[in-house]
């Protein structure tokens, strides 16, 4: 039986009577890359702090690899990269990592390979005060990876990074998950998450309103799939007529379908044979899915 890396059961947290985390439950397995999404103030950071044992919940329970949050076992098994990382500016990158390695009871010799992995080998002897934001973030990731944690929590790890640095962060996330650790990351950068996470959790006003793989959330949301059927201008009317619907647009006919009638619609298009030059299929984006679940929750509230 697989032991979940993280189990959150009916967790509640109030601040001055206001619900920040409202009866949230989910469980994460080893090797999963999970995105935690939500508007500003939805409760993501509060949930992270409860999982890490920095904050006490007002109800429910959390277990990190079957240990209580904040216990020695949980601290050894987990790692955290906060949204803004701050390190003593007078220390070099190597000194910072060696310091954290000692703090985690690991050998300081773990520092250099990790610095190399995050692309900071050449800057290892430079003071952190001279690092750019992207370099500090990569140092933060290296710090989070000391001791091969089995649960890695990343709070908006790509905010403020350039495209290459973002790519490096996602490559590292992929590597961490490949060796069996669980990665839970919060982010507002939905487009880049789409192909780089396995599962989506959406928080809205402290409530968990979605928890599934993107394809199933798309189907559940029932959002339209947009099809664009390319044809010649002479065949446009015939294609639109034979499909019985669609908007004619220069050299293409655009139509919507749902995931349940997608195959049927594609087979109707393919029966048009040589009249069709090409087809574009646009599934609803993570942005569309996120908007759908957030707005449903807003309306219910
Ligand atoms: N220490 C605190 N005292 C009082 N209220 C707090 C405290 N920490 C968080 N809150 C409130 O709890 C709610 C959830 O905040 P949280 O920081 O968890 O949201 P978030 O989803 O991480 O937001 P963001 O995307 O802006 O980082 C907000 O209404 C926030 O104002």
Which of these three, 199, 218, 237, is where a domain ends? 218
Question: Which residue lies with its CA nearest to atom 7 of ligand 1?
Answer: 15
Residues having CB closer than 6 A to ligand 1 are: 15, 20, 38, 40-46
Residue 215 clears pLDDT 90, i.e. is over it = no
Q: Which comes out higher in pLDDT, residue 13 or 163?
A: 13
Q: What is the pLDDT of residue 85?
A: 83
Residue 301 clears pLDDT 90, i.e. is over it = no
Give the CATH number, domain containing residue 249. Answer: 3.30.70.120
Note whether ipTM > 0.90 here: yes
Which of these three, 190, 218, 246, is where a domain ends? 218
Q: What is the pLDDT of residue 121?
A: 92
Residue 1 falls within a domain, yes or no? no
Which residue is associated with the tokens 């310091």? 99
CA pair distance 101, 283, nearest whole angstrom = 44
Residue 252 clears pLDDT 90, i.e. is over it = yes
Question: Which residue lies with its CA nearest to atom 9 of ligand 1?
Answer: 46
Same domain, 65 and 97: yes
- Contacts of residues 207-211 at CB distance under 8 Å and 24 or more positions apart, as own/partner, are 207/22, 207/23, 207/24, 207/297, 208/24, 208/25, 208/26, 209/293, 209/294, 209/296, 209/297, 210/289, 210/293, 211/26
Same domain, 276 and 131: no
Q: What mean pLDDT is predicted for residues 93-120?
A: 90
Spatial contact of 270 and 178, defined as CB atoms under 8 Å apart: no
Same domain, 174 and 236: no
- Please report the atom of ligand 1 found closest to the CA of residue 21: 14
What's the structural domain count of the chain?
2
* DSSP code string of 62-110: EEETTB-TTSHHHHHHEEEE-SS----TTSBHHHHHHHHHHHTT--GGG
Same domain, 277 and 147: no
Bridge-based pairing state of the strands 18-28 and 33-37:
unpaired
Residue 195 clears pLDDT 90, i.e. is over it = no
pLDDT tens-digit readout, 225-244: 999 999 999 999 899 998 88
Which of 11, 21, 39, 41 to mutate to test ligand 1, by most ligand atoms within 8 A of the CB atom? 41
Question: Which residue lies with its CA nearest to atom 31 of ligand 1?
Answer: 41
Q: What mean pLDDT is predicted for residues 125-150?
A: 91
Residue 245 falls within a domain, yes or no? yes
Average pLDDT along the chain:
91
Give the CATH number, domain containing residue 22. Answer: 3.40.50.300
pTM of the shown model: 0.87
pLDDT > 70 in the chain, percent = 100
Same domain, 185 and 97: yes
- Please report the atom of ligand 1 found closest to the CA of residue 206: 14
Q: Which of 171-175, 180-184, 292-296 has the largest mean confidence?
A: 180-184
Q: What mean pLDDT is predicted for residues 249-272?
A: 89
Same domain, 159 and 237: no
DSSP label of 274: G
Which of these three, 184, 218, 252, is where a domain ends? 218
Q: Could you list the residue range(s) of the whole structural domain that residue 273 is in?
A: 224-283
Same domain, 32 and 51: yes
Same domain, 172 and 96: yes
Residue 294 falls within a domain, yes or no? no
Q: Exposed (0-12), middle (13-18) or buried (19+): which is 248, by Cβ within 10 Å?
A: middle
Residue 296 clears pLDDT 80, i.e. is over it = no
Question: Which residue lies with its CA nearest to atom 16 of ligand 1?
Answer: 43
Q: Which comes out higher in pLDDT, residue 297 or 174?
A: 174
Q: What mean pLDDT is predicted for residues 142-158?
A: 91
Q: What mean pLDDT is predicted for residues 205-232?
A: 92
Q: Which two tokens stand for residue 270?
A: 């393919």
Please tell me the distance between residue 262's alpha carbon and the centre of ligand 1 in angstroms.
41
Same domain, 121 and 184: yes
Instruction: State the helix-helix crossing angle for 133-145 and 163-178, rounded to 10 degrees.
Output: 10
- Count of C-beta atoms within a 10 Å radius of residue 2: 7
Bridge-based pairing state of the strands 247-249 and 252-257:
antiparallel
Same domain, 161 and 75: yes
Question: Which residue lies with its CA nearest to atom 17 of ligand 1?
Answer: 45
Which residue is associated with the tokens 């985390």? 21
Residue 289 falls within a domain, yes or no? no
Which residue is associated with the tokens 């944690």? 149
* DSSP code string of 193-258: HTTT-SEEEEEETTEEEEEE-HHHHHHHHTPPEEEEEE--GGGHHHHHHHHT--EEETTEEEEEE-
CA pair distance 202, 60, nearest whole angstrom = 19
Same domain, 190 and 257: no
Residue 82 falls within a domain, yes or no? yes
Q: What is the pLDDT of residue 249?
A: 84
Same domain, 38 and 138: yes
End-to-end CA distance of the chain: 38
Q: What is the pLDDT of residue 164?
A: 84
Residue 301 falls within a domain, yes or no? no
Residue 288 falls within a domain, yes or no? no
- Please report the atom of ligand 1 found closest to the CA of residue 48: 18
Residue 181 falls within a domain, yes or no? yes
């Amino acid at each position: 039986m697989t032991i979940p890396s993280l189990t959150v059961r009916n967790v509640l947290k109030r601040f001055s009577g206001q619900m920040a985390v409202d009866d949230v439950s989910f469980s994460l397995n080893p090797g999963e890359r999970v995105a935690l999404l939500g508007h500003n103030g939805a409760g993501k950071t509060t949930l992270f702090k409860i999982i890490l044992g920095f904050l006490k919940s007002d109800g429910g329970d959390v277990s990190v690899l079957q240990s209580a949050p904040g216990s020695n076992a949980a601290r050894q098994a987990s790692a955290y990269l906060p949204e803004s990382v701050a390190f003593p500016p007078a220390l070099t990158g190597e000194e910072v990592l060696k310091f954290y390695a000692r703090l985690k009871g690991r050998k300081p010799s773990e520092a250099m390979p990790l610095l190399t992995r995050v692309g900071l080998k050449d800057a290892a002897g430079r003071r952190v005060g001279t690092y750019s934001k992207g370099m500090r973030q990569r140092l933060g990731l290296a710090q989070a990876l000391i001791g091969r944690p089995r649960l890695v929590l990343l709070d908006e790890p790509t905010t403020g990074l350039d495209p290459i640095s973002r790519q490096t962060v996602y490559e590292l996330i992929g590597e961490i998950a490949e060796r069996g650790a669980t990665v839970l990351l919060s982010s507002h950068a939905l487009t880049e998450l789409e192909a780089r996470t396995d599962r989506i959790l959406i928080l809205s006003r402290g409530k968990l309103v979605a928890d599934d793989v993107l394809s199933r959330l798309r189907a559940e949301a029932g959002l339209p799939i947009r099809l664009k059927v390319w044809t010649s201008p002479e065949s446009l009317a015939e294609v639109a007529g034979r499909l019985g619907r669609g908007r004619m647009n220069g050299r293409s006919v655009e139509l919507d379908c749902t995931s349940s009638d997608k195959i049927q619609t594609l087979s109707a298009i393919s029966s048009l044979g040589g009249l069709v030059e090409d087809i574009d299929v646009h599934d609803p984006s993570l942005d569309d899915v996120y908007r759908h679940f957030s707005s449903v929750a807003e309306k219910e509230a």
